[in-house]
Amino acid sequence: MAVGYNKEFLVDAFLHRFRLFGLDVASLQNMANNFYDEVGKDKFRVYASLDAAAVKEYKEFTKNGVSYPNRI
């Protein structure tokens, strides 16, 4: 059964790879949210390279209640 991920999850999964290196993603987060709104979920996943492996990596990161500071 396919899992439907919401906008917040997908944008956070995209930003995860940048946050791992300690980068400030405030501007990138705004751009990612706007881009998601513009192209929709499916194209966002393609353009942001959010394949199954990237989603799985982010899910593993958040599995134990680990999260980043508040979203913008």
User: Which residues in the chain land under pLDDT 70?
Assistant: 1-3, 66-72
Q: How is the chain split into domains, by residue range?
A: 7-62
Q: Give the pLDDT confidence score for residue 72 in this predicted structure.
A: 47
Q: Give the pLDDT confidence score for residue 22 in this predicted structure.
A: 83
Query: 11-20: which pairs have CB atoms within 8 A and are 24 or more residues apart?
Result: 11/36, 12/58, 12/68, 12/71, 13/50, 13/54, 13/55, 13/58, 14/44, 14/48, 14/50, 14/54, 15/68, 16/54, 16/57, 16/58, 16/61, 17/54, 19/68
pTM over 0.85, yes/no: no
Q: Give the pLDDT confidence score for residue 1 in this predicted structure.
A: 35
If we measure between CA atoms, which residue out of 32, 57, 11, 52 comes closest to residue 66?
57
